[in-house]
Amino acid sequence: MTLNNLEDLFVEQLRDLYSAETQILVALPEMAEAATSDELRKAFESHLKETRSQKKRLEKIFETLGEDPEGETCEGMKGLLEEGSEMLEKDGDRNVIDAGIIAAAQRVEHYEISGYGTARAYAERLGHDDAVGLLDESLDEESAANEKLTKIAESTVNPKATGAAARA
């Protein structure tokens, strides 16, 4: 894709986000299944529903713009999810692995927060008010998901992981 103006860059960024969400829809069920913590598993299952909505919001933006969402592979997300997948395959104390899964998931959330924030700024600058609202919704959900992961880590998973050495 040739980038001649901010509109081109906006569409390219949206395609990147669309690819990222598509990849996450495959990864989240695997993460939920691998989680030992019920709270963590439920958080992933809940975020799966949000991710489906986020993808639909992006499709709505593409429809408004008269653009196709396909055509971009989000290599950044691909790499983050590969790292997360490696964590799912590790041997060891399941509480420690849950802590590692949260770390991987938060890297994904931060990537999405960055992407949605950038796309939102472009939409605002370009006067795409409907897109601004839709991107804001997704940005709020990603921020909330990150906060939820932090809470789960600090309140239950990390304390259990800390005790893993005493159990070994």
pLDDT digits (tens, 9 = 90+) for 110-137: 999 999 999 999 999 999 999 999 999 9
pLDDT over 60 at 22, yes or no: yes
pLDDT at residue 52 in the model: 98
- Spell out the domains of the chain, with CATH numbers in brackets: 6-167 (1.20.1260.10)
Between the alpha carbon of residue 24 and those of residues 35, 49, 97, the distances in Å are 16, 11, 19
pLDDT over 70 at 25, yes or no: yes
Cβ atoms 40, 152 nearer than 8 A: yes
pLDDT at residue 15 in the model: 97
pLDDT band at 165 (very low <50, low <70, confident <90, very high): low
DSSP letter (8 states) at residue 67? -
